[in-house]
Chains A and B, each alone.
Chain A
Amino acid sequence: MTVKRTLAFLILALMALVLAQSPLDKLKAALDRLRGPAHQGVYVLTVERPGSTKTYRIKVYTDGNRAHLRVLEPRSEAGQAFLSLGQDLYLYDPRLDRTLRLPPTGRTERFLGSDLTYQDLMGRDLEELFQVAEAQGVLVLTPKPGAATPYGRVEVYLKGDLIERILYYDQRGQAVRELWLEGYQRLDGAYLPRVMELRDLLKEGYRTRVEIQEVRVGPIPERCFNPLALERGC
């Protein structure tokens, strides 16, 4: 009797060990959830500065890895389009009337003047550039040797399996950016945060908020991820 129990216990323990995720796996899984499934939708981007607020409406097509964004409002900037294909980044501006391929050095620039960089929106830097450890339920990311990132440490706070908060530290131990994710919706077996808020901790009153207004889950036609589509639309 006891042998069976012990065996069962052992097997359970073994399974727990095998199934228990390494911190890296946890991060990967959580990031996957962050990107959500393949979907298209309308995002509202609000850029807050001391004394002014600017709001954009953006149409989004993404398959979880690649993304095609089009600015719908305000009228003065409507027609701008962006395409992220992993390493490559393209942008189209109707006033420029041509499609530009941004050098990789352009990916850390701010998206539409907000506190979000292109990297934040599209890249998967956290997995590539950092090594993950876990401390008291918080994923602590430290840059891999030679990683091309200016951050000294990144803390990822999970609520269950979902990322609730990411805190970026510079190399002097000061927190410089904070990303909040709320309102996860469950869509077609995957999750998508409805609200993403980024705060610049070094500048008072600088905040960017992305809210998903509409979303429709489903595969995105391949032509949407062709740079030529930027001009014509998807």
Chain B
Amino acid sequence: MTLLSLAWRNVLRQRRRTALLSLVVVYVTVAVLFMLGFLDGYGESLVEAYARYVEAPVVVAKEAWWEDPDPTNGFTELPSLGVPYTPRLSLYVLLRSPYRTEGGVALGVDPEGERRLSRVSVKVAEGRWLEGKGEVVLGYRLAERLDVRVGERLVLETGKAALGLRVVGLLRTGVSNVDFAGVYLHLEDAERLAGTGVRATHLAVEAGRGREEATAQALNATLPPGLKAKGVWELMGPIRADYEGSRLFYLPLLGLFMLLAATAVVSTTYVSVRERLREFAVAESLGLTPGRLALQVALEAALASGVGLVLGLLLGYALLYYTATHDVFGPLMRMSVEFFPESGLSEHLYTAVRPVYALYASLVVVLSGLLALLFPGRLVLRLELARYLKGE
């Protein structure tokens, strides 16, 4: 009989206690899975918000513009990058409705280019996306503040020019920055407002999910001097700190949880080994080395926790799948959005579901095995054959 099947048989012999310690492992596994999924979901929602709504997956601009985001530091001629991009022109404007005036940042875009790169264009709640000059699209909260409706004219003014643009659409993206402060107009109108011959302030480049940093790095290697590309993580504002901080805080906690679960497993294994010391003595006298016996003990612990792990994975992934498809955190996120309307938080948060979580959760099994070697294993290693064989 192999060690493994022996160990497995021993585990099955004590159903109740295996079941009990499985409870611990299931609980911890579900907690680990859920926390990882939640954290990753948080990160994903931030990336999604910044890559597809607030900014772009990768943004290329002059170094001077990154320092001072003023149109004077923009491009007077659109460069060729070797990759497709859509140009954008961001500038400060005074928004004047018949009833209210407000300052804000407007973004001149190429309507078609935006359709390909960002999701803002499909989140028009009322009206439609930009199609040509003379039009403007606003975040719906901004439109409320200005008291302006679809079809009405809004005056955008800079020190250089003033334009009356017709509001053709209101956006409801669920991303705070856009809904509370988004102003989108045609690139040529923005050029007129900026004056001074600026064609664009920055260029938005596409990159696949998870490959934003790599794309930015590759670009930086080939860009002419004076230009710099930044990936979405660099473009995030202070909210990134909250995300990283959360990871730093919760991951060690999860590690602790898994350690505690392993302790429970090992406790049980200890008792089980103590009860069977005679058995082990016999086995040893028959030729099995203490090392192998210790290994068997470790395997027993690993298998016992493995049962809990499998169950935990099933439950955990089911839970994750549910929270990944149902907007369970909606109310929490909406409240956060009201508190921090320009942080880039979204109104929804869906957990991520990734197979790699199983790998992290299985750390419990590894820990159990290791601890079992250290404690009950030592019992076996220090076995005084004579004492036990005598039947004491």
Q: B165 interface residue, CB < 8 Å from A?
A: yes
Chain A contact residues: helix, strand, loop or mixed: loop
- B164 contacts the other chain (Cβ, under 8 Å)? yes
CA distance A233 to B96 in the complex (A): 34
**Are A147 and B164 closer than 8 Å at their CB atoms?**
yes
Asked if A146 contacts B94 (CB within 8 A), the reply is no
Q: Is A50's beta carbon under 8 Å from chain B?
A: no
- What is the CB-to-nearest-CB distance from A41 to chain B, in angstroms, rounded to a whole number? 31
**Least distance between A171 CB and chain B CB atoms (Å):** 4
The closest CB in chain A to the CB of B133 belongs to: A146
Q: How far apart are the CA atoms of A146 and B133 in the complex, in Å? A: 9
**CB < 8 Å: which of B97, B162, B164 contacts A143?**
B164
Q: Is the CB of A150 within 8 A of B163?
A: no
Query: A145 contacts which chain B residues (CB < 8 A)?
Result: 134
- Report how far A104 CA is from B93 CA in the complex, Å: 12
Question: Is the CB–CB distance between B153 and A105 below 8 Å?
Answer: no
Residues of B within 8 A of A151 (CB): 98
**B153 near A104: Cβ-Cβ < 8 Å:** no
A94 to chain B, nearest CB (A): 26
Q: Nearest chain-B residue to A171 (Cβ)?
A: B152
State whether B155 touches A150 (Cβ < 8 A).
yes
Chain A nearest Cβ from B156, distance in angstroms: 8
CB distance from B96 to the nearest CB of A (A): 6
Kindly report which residue of chain A lies nearest to residue B192, judged by CB atoms.
A146
B55 in contact (CB, < 8 A): no
Contacts of A143 in B (CB 8 A): 153, 164
Chain B positions 135-192 with a Cβ under 8 Å from a chain A Cβ: 152-153, 155-159, 161-165
Flag if A171 contacts B134 (CB, 8 Å).
no
Contacts of B158 in A (CB 8 A): 105
Chain B: residues with Cβ within 8 Å of the partner, total of: 18
Q: Is the interface of B mostly helix, strand, loop or mixed?
A: strand
User: When the two chains form their complex, are residues A104 and B159 in contact, meaning their CB atoms are under 8 A apart?
Assistant: yes
Complex Cα distance, B152 from A104, in Å, reads 22
Instruction: Decide if B96 touches A108 in the complex (CB within 8 Å).
Output: yes
Task: Determine the distance from Cα of A129 to Cα of B155 in the docked complex, in whole angstroms.
Answer: 12
Instruction: Tell me whether A150 and B96 are in contact (CB under 8 A).
Output: yes
B159 and A171 form a contact (CB under 8 A): no
Interchain CB contact under 8 A, A150 and B157:
no
Contact with B along A52-65 (1 / 0, CB 8 A): 00000000000000
The docked-state distance in angstroms from the alpha carbon of A56 to that of B162 is 31
Q: Mark A94-137, 1 if CB is under 8 A from B, else 0.
A: 00000000011100100000000000000000000100000000
Please report the C-alpha to C-alpha distance between residue A103 and residue B96 in the assembled complex, in whole angstroms: 15
Q: Which residue of B lies closest to A149 (CB)?
A: B164
Find out whether the CB atom of B98 lies under 8 angstroms from the CB atom of A150: yes
Is residue A170 contacting chain B, with contact meaning CB distance below 8 A?
yes
A7 interface residue (CB < 8 Å to B): no
Cβ of A44 to closest chain B Cβ, rounded Å: 29
What is the minimal beta-carbon distance from B189 to any residue of chain A, in angstroms? 8
Which residue in chain B gives the minimum CB-CB distance to A169? Answer: B98
In the complex, residue of chain A having the shortest beta-carbon distance to the beta carbon of B162? A148
Is A176's beta carbon under 8 Å from chain B?
yes
Shortest 7 CB-CB contacts between residues of A and residues of B? A148-B162, A150-B98, A148-B164, A171-B152, A170-B98, A147-B164, A148-B155
Q: Given A108-B96, A148-B164, 19 other A-B contacts at CB below 8 A?
A: A104-B157, A104-B159, A105-B158, A105-B162, A129-B164, A143-B153, A143-B164, A145-B134, A146-B133, A146-B163, A146-B164, A148-B155, A148-B157, A148-B163, A150-B97, A150-B98, A152-B153, A171-B152, A171-B153
Please report B residues at the A interface, Cβ cutoff 8 Å. 94, 96-98, 133-134, 152-153, 155-159, 161-165
Interface, chain A (partner B; CB < 8 A) = 103-105, 108, 129, 143, 145-152, 170-172, 176
23 contacts between A and B (CB under 8 A): A104-B157, A104-B159, A129-B164, A143-B153, A146-B134, A146-B163, A146-B164, A146-B165, A147-B153, A147-B164, A148-B155, A148-B156, A149-B153, A149-B164, A150-B96, A150-B97, A150-B153, A150-B155, A151-B98, A170-B98, A171-B98, A172-B152, A176-B98
